[in-house]
Amino acid sequence: MPDEPENRKRALRAELRERRRIRTITERETAEDAITQHLVQLTSDLGARFIAAYLSTPDEPGTRDFLRWADEHGIRILLPVSREDGLLDWAPYDGEDEEQDILGMPTPTSELLGPIAINGVDLILVPAACVARNGMRLGWGRGYFDKTLGSMEGCPPVYALIYDDELVDEVPTERHDMPVNGVVTPSGIVSLPVG
């Protein structure tokens, strides 16, 4: 069946969304603290001075503590803003107010930049439902990050932020799906073979 991978993706996303929904506040806070420490290490190890990241939703591993740290250390940060045409605009992190984009995702209220603003970053941090050990990422189904990563020339390292149990043996994939270089979990940083 041609839509077999998409059906498998949909079922897996539903399962993972439910698993995230039932995590306790304590589990989430502990995970965020550990992931923040690992993101600081990753950023420092890579010498990244300009990054693309995102504002996490309540069910995702938290990014805000890391973003504050990066900002305090003079690292330039771009955050995505979803567009109706399936592309991402980018806006600088300013630690100020947040609003929601057309998908209801948290975004900054700073100046809106175009899709090519991401070119030149040293590190890209992306959300994921789960990631396979071969580097293939299962996102949440809209394809925004796959389009962005697939259109970049000279893409820098890309790391997905997930919980430990979301690093899996395999995920259903389609031709447009883009791999990541690694994951950051509460347990640490895992580099993955791309593809």
CATH superfamily membership of 4-191:
NagB/RpiA/CoA transferase-like (3.40.50.10420)
Domain range summary for the chain, segments of one domain joined by +: 4-191
pTM score of the predicted model: 0.91
- Average pLDDT across each block of 10 residues of the chain; the chain has 195 residues. List them in order: 73 90 92 97 97 92 95 96 88 86 83 89 95 91 80 88 94 84 97 78
3-state secondary structure the chain: CCCHHHHHHHHHHHHHHHHHHCCCHHHHHHHHHHHHHHHHHHHHHHCCCEEECCCCCCCCCCCHHHHHHHHHCCCEEEEEEECCCCCEEEEECCCCCEEECCCCCEEECCCCECHHHHCCCCEEEEECCEEECCCEEECCCCCHHHHHHHHCCCCCCEEEECCHHHEECCCCCCCCCCECCEEEECCEEEECCCC
